[in-house]
Structure formats: C-alpha cells, structure tokens
Structure 1
C-alpha cells in the first residue's frame, strides 16, 4: 500500500476506508429503536388501499451489535495492519516481508544440499549431474520467463546456448551478470541521423553478415557507421564486451536482422536490463545457476 505516485492518492484511499466505516455507524445510529415511530403512527401512516397495513420492524439488537463489533474490528485492523494509504500499521506487516521470511526458511532447510557446491569451480558444477539438475530447476523457476525453457531466448532476450555473449561468456562473467545484473543501452540517433542515413548504415551492417543489401549504399553506410557507431561497436563492428555493445558481424541478432528493425534500433535506441539476482537467490544458488548456463555453450554433458 506504500507504492503511491503521490501523497494525494494515499489520503484518498484512507478517506474512502474511514468514511465507509463512519457511514455504517451513522446508518446504525439513525435506525436505532427509539427513533422509530410508535405502532399507532406506523398503522396510520402506512395503510394502503384501505385495508393493507405496512409496518416498519425495528432492526434486531443482535444485528446492530454485530455490525458495531465489525466496525470496531475494521478500525482495529486498519490501525494494526496496512490499509490506510501509505500507513504501514503498528505491526509493520507486509506480504513482501512474509514471503522473504518464508524464503529464508526454505534456504535454511536447503543449505546442507548446497554446501558441497559452495567452493566448487563453475566448470566442475557444469560437469556434476546433481549440480546440473539443481541449476536447471533454478533456471526454470527464475529465468525461463525471459530466456525460454530451452534457454534459447526470444526477441530482446539473448540466446544462452550459443557462443555469443555481449558481456563475456567466461564463468566469472556469467556469475557477475547473474549476481549484479546488466543494463545495455543503445543510444537513440533520431536527432543525429535521418531515416535515410540510418537505412544506409543498416545496408552496411547487413553486408557484414552476408545478408541481402544494396551494394551502392554500403560505402555511404560504412562512412556513417565509422562516424557515429564505432565508439561502442568498434571500427570493425565487432562490439565491446565492456560496454555490452554487441558484435554486429556474428550473425546473431537480439531484435532481428531486417532493415526495418535495424533502422528502428538506430533511430529510437534500445534499453535492455537483466535484473540482479543477488537479492533473490543465495550465493550457492547463483553459482549453480551460472555453472549450468555456462555448460550450455561449452560442450559439457547435459
């Protein structure tokens, strides 16, 4: 309940909750027995068609007491637990804390299983049958949503089974990527290049991969590439792993190799983020996961 855009929303939600309880209490007060008309007044004022009498029966006392107690319970709940906008409650309870506590209990229970992998090199983890089985389950539970259950990725999510790595494919590189996360930003050039110039660059880049291209536009595209793109991708277009700039000659395309897709990336830029897992997984779990991922592209037993 604390993730509001501004304090106004917090006040609005709090007002709705409290006014709802206040309205219930007001309704009960207005319907209390001593405000009801006498039987004679009811009969004289609610006779229809000469002989049909409509009577107003007072609300039963047990019903009134029950609703008063429910209102008191609601107020107590809102004081003790989150419910009034950004107010966290006297107990400071949150579902996130509960999940974290449960996760810590699970990790403590599984700690003996992970213990023997604590100091094991990632290359050995990739060759250990038990470690691979655990690593695969960790991948399916935490990574498959983006990279796919087969780890071959999808548009904007890299394939983890080939030998192309934007940030490096060594065991320690993969371990760092999973632990700390990555963020790759392709600068937008809409204000620097025209669509035609971006198209020329696309023709040049496609030519580096033996894809269909307009040869007459390649020289212009190469010149523009050397002026605009070499700082990140290098003069040879082979990228820079320190920056996460991909190799544009490898034939592997994160978003696709069509001219339209390349031009879109040049003009509008790209912003990809791999979330850090250090706050979700234990150190041993990350090592098992990194070892399994490394093994996918390094000829280990699968």
Structure 2
C-alpha cells in the first residue's frame, strides 16, 4: 500500500498531462504544415484505382480555437492544481473552497440563530420559526435513517416515543447529535451457556415485557440472565449511561420474538449513529435537538397522546 502514497504517482500524472498537451500542440503544427501533393487538392493517395484522398484543411477559426484551448490548459495548470501534487500559484483546493463557502453560509445564518440562543427546549418547540428550521435540518440530515415522520424502522430508533437509550433530555440529545453514538452488544452465547440456555434466556427477556413466552423456559433462563445484568440491570430496565436498552418495555429496536432475541444473544449487535458536529453548527444542533425533543415532549406529543386515548 505504501506505493499509493509515494511521489511516483504525482510525477506520473504530471508527466502524462504535460505530454498529452504537447502532443496535441505537435499534432496541430504537423497538420498545419501538410502540403497538397497534387494540383487537384488530393494527397496523392489512390485506392481501388479511382478513390482519391482529398486534402481539406481545417478552418482557421477552428484551428484558432484549438490553439486557445491548449493555451488555456497551460495557464490553468500554472495557477490551479492539476500536475500531480503541484498546488498551483493561487493555492486553490476543493477543501479550502468548501471551507470558505461554509464559513460564508455560517456568517449569514448566525443572526437568525442568535434569537434562539437564550431559549430553552420548551420555548423552542413553541416557536414556529425554530421548529420550521429544525424540520428542514431533520429532513436533510436525520430522515434518511429515522424516517420523515421520525418513527424509525428496524435498527433505527423511533424518536416519537419516550424510549431513549441514552436519555431524552435536550442536552443529551444535543450530545447524541454532535458526537454520535456507538452501541455495541458483544456475543453472549458462550457466557450464557449452550443453545438451550440461550433459548431460555430469550423467553425470560420476553417475560420481562409481558410478551407471549414459555413460562418454564423463562424460569430456567432467569438464572442465566445474570450474564446480561451487567449492562441491562438485574431488573432488565437497562442503563442509559451505557446505552443498554430497557428490556421491560415492548420497544424492540432490532426485531421482536424468540428468534430475534436468540440471534442478538448469539451474534451480538453493533449499531452506530454518525457524529454531526462537523456538518452542523452548535446553534443548528441546539435547534435540531429541540425539534427532536418535541416529538415526545412538545405539543405534537400531547396531540398524539390524546388521539391514542
């Protein structure tokens, strides 16, 4: 792999680029000096007895444009990167251009977010402008995984309920958005015992939430659940500090039922939410977190509760 980071590729690209431009220029020079070999505008080449090759030079304006493109390419390579690792006289790069545009955009939106600076989550969810901004940020950055309605799907948490793996207050949601989350459950089959023990623990986990289960298997699995209690707690109610799910509710992030639980105990689970601190400003994260918080705490949550009743 070290070959891909050597200076050889940079030299190869630079040489290939220069040779290609020089070859185009040479081709133009050779074509412009070509002379008619016969008096009838032919080159003197004859095929099949009477098929003659004509010599029709390219129009001068076309030749002029071709020369201008070569001159432009040479000037471009002097001022901008294009010759391997050479950065150009202007020092331009995609990264610096992107950063400049991002800084310009942030400077333009700062006055807008300044109004929200002294507002808490309860006040933000009551502000139509803040929620409109939060909705746009959510659709552009979060809806791909959590859904446009924020109800999630298998493997992606539902943000409209009150089941929060790491905590659902405004500050914790901001931390989750900014830093991301990486939840890992290691394979626990060896710690639990054999295949039958894993099945018994699965039924005990189902019993914690009052789901249909085999009572005898659940009773046998209770003693083996001790291997899981370190994260999920002896009562199975989870641990938000670790992001360990509450097993006593009926919210199943990775699938419900005996086989789904057996698969997770046997194979473990690795789930990751990416950090957004590099994509969003602190002010944007603050408004977005309030918008997400409002799903289970704001006016919309109250409306859902009334409708459900």
**Secondary structure at 1:54 match in 2:** strand
* More displaced stretch, 167-176 vs 134-143: 134-143
* Corresponding residue of 2:134: 135
| Matched positions, count | 296
How far apart are the structure 1 equivalents of 2:171 and 2:108? 27
Distance 1:5 1:165 in 2: 47
Which sections of structure 1, spanning at least 5 residues, go unmatched?
none
Quick check: 1:78–1:89 contact (8 Å CA) kept in 2?
yes
Cα distance, 1:27 vs structure 2: 4.2
Deviation at 1:63, TM superposition (A): 4.5
Shift in alpha-carbon separation, 1:33–1:255, aligned structure 2, 3 A: same
Does structure 1 retain, via aligned residues, the 8 Å contact 2:37–2:44? no
Map of 2:255 onto structure 1: 256
> Residue in 2 aligned with 1:112?
111
Unaligned residue ranges in structure 2 (runs of 5+): 302-309
Alpha carbon RMSD of aligned pairs, Å? Answer: 3.5
Q: Tell me what 1:298 maps to.
A: 297
Q: State yes or no: 1:266 paired with 2:265.
A: yes
Q: Which moved more, 1:191-200 or 1:154-163?
A: 191-200
Q: Match for residue 5 of structure 2?
A: 7
- Which residue in the other structure is 2:233 paired with? 234
For residue 213 of structure 1, what is the aligned residue in structure 2?
213
Q: Supply the distance in 2 between the matched residues of 1:6 and 1:236 (Cα, whole angstroms).
A: 54
Higher relative contact order (CA 8 A, sep 6+): 1
Shift of 1:18: 5.2
Q: TM-score, normalised by structure 2?
A: 0.78
Residues in 2 aligned to 1:153 and 1:272: alpha-carbon distance in whole angstroms: 14
Instruction: Give the distance between the partners of 2:18 and 2:262, measured in 1 at CA.
Output: 55
2:171 alignment partner in structure 1:
172
Describe the superposition over 1:6-38 as per-residue Cα deviations: whole angstroms up to 9, x where unpaired: 43795576676556445534544654525x673
